[in-house]
A = this chain, B = another copy of it.
Amino acid sequence: MSKPSIPKGTRDFSPTEMAKRNYIFNTIREVYALYGFRQIETPAMEQLSTLMGKYGEEGDKLLFKILNSGDFKQAVSAEEWNEKPVTKLAPRLCEKGLRYDLTVPFARYVVQHREELQMPFKRYQIQPVWRADRPQKGRYREFYQCDADIVGSNSLLNEVELMQIVDMVFHRFGIRVCIKINNRKILTGIAEYIGYPEKIIDITTAIDKLDKIGIDNVRAELSASGLDDEAIEKLQPIFNIQGSNEERLNTIREMLSNSTTGLKGIEECEYVLQQLAASQLKNTIEFDLTLARGLNYYTGCIFEVKALDVAIGSITGGGRYDNLTGIFGMPGLSGVGISFGADRIFDVLNQLDLYPRETTSGVQLLFINFGANEAAHCLQLAQKAREASIRTEVYPDSVKMKKQMSYANAIGAEYVALVGENEIQTGTVSLKNMLTGEQSSVTIDELIHTIAP
């Protein structure tokens, strides 16, 4: 029989990996809760009709679909099987699909439960999502998202709060980051100003490459995407933009002085940056005109987080959207949200070796098993240690000492307790510190005092 395996693009998580992942999730969870966000969970499976059409045509293909139970054949005749393309057949065979992200299920949740919800509704959600993407390094078919959103409030205080959350989370991780902020309205203003409102994505993409390919190539690219020379000329101030956040915003303000939308975007950015200046973030925040994520759904502020000490893409991102629940027939609900990239944060923490020691330490105390009588005695001592919150094991079999010690090393036990006949008679424990190798004879109370947190 060949060794069993798991589907490509999926992962098993070992105890050590789980300890690290829990540290990440718990840190994010704690900070979300500190800001009043409350957790929800939605089912792994949604109605396929809830998911289809929400992620574009490509997205529909990447949905994992669940074959109907029972007689799924009934819905499709042999003729239809022959004639219809898979895209038409799949929804006939499958009523359900695995969630592709947490946003659409959240929108569905808000609409379905609107009578129970008090607005503004601040929710966080940490659950896996599934995508039938081609697996590659760092891209999985099952991965966790860690989202927080506030819906039902237009206030920019929400944006401020989300940036504070980002700052606090990465400060707790010990990861130095740059928080980048932009506003969809500014990008709209620029595209309108140069006379190409429909080219907003081409323009932003080209500007984004300025550092990498230089001004001449950017001009060439813009020209290739259909902009005339006059329009490209009008972008000159942006090519030359520099200075502090304030200076950059002033440059844009001058340029967009006739664009109501553009000025609104600048005002929003300024407000958020001012509030954040007063709250003394631990990390830098930078107004970045080239930041252009999610332009098909974000309508206001956009943000993204880059690690300073590791070359890796965005590790967190988010923004404001104006119409989360419109797709489910409940228009006019604005929201703003953020999503931490747990897998990338995992990699960054690994590369920078930033996991706190206590995060990944497992068992604190292992009792060696010298035989039935000794083990029975140790069982009682172990209970006392556990009552003092010490993670404790009694080795279950009375096998050779060497094997038990190698187990102690494998599980990373901090202390090993040796209790033989002598120790039982004297009411003591021979306690070995596995880090230093030191060994001492102690009572159970002294043992607890030594190890307990």
Contact = CB atoms under 8 A, between A and B. Distances in A.
Interface of A: 1-7, 10-15, 18-19, 21-22, 33-36, 38-47, 50, 61-62, 64-67, 69-73, 76, 78-79, 81-82, 86, 89-90, 93-96, 98, 108-109, 111-113, 116, 118, 120, 122-123, 128, 130, 132, 141-142, 150, 153-155, 157-158, 160-161, 164, 168, 275, 278-279, 328-329, 362-363, 366, 369, 375-376, 379-380, 383, 386, 389-394, 396-397, 406-407, 410-411
Contacts of A376: 275, 278
A86 B72 contact: yes
A415 B120 CA distance: 18
A42 B12 contact: yes
Given A5-B47, A397-B154, A41 B12 contact: yes
A69 B87 CA distance: 10
Q: Is the interface of A mostly helix, strand, loop or mixed?
A: mixed
Given A18-B41, A71-B86, A128-B44, A392 B36 contact: yes
Contact of A50 (B4, B11, B82, B394): B4
B15 A38 contact: yes
Given A14-B116, A94-B67, A132-B69, A396 B155 contact: yes
Nearest to A128: B44
Most buried by B among A19, A43, A394: A43
Contacts of A132: 69
B81 A43 contact: no
Contact of A380 (B41, B50, B142, B278): B278
A38 B18 contact: yes
A77 to B, nearest CB: 8
A5 B48 CA distance: 11
7 contacts: A1-B329, A4-B328, A36-B363, A61-B69, A66-B67, A73-B86, A278-B379
Nearest to A70: B86
Most buried by B among A4, A70, A130, A160: A4
Given A81-B81, A112-B5, A12 B123 contact: no
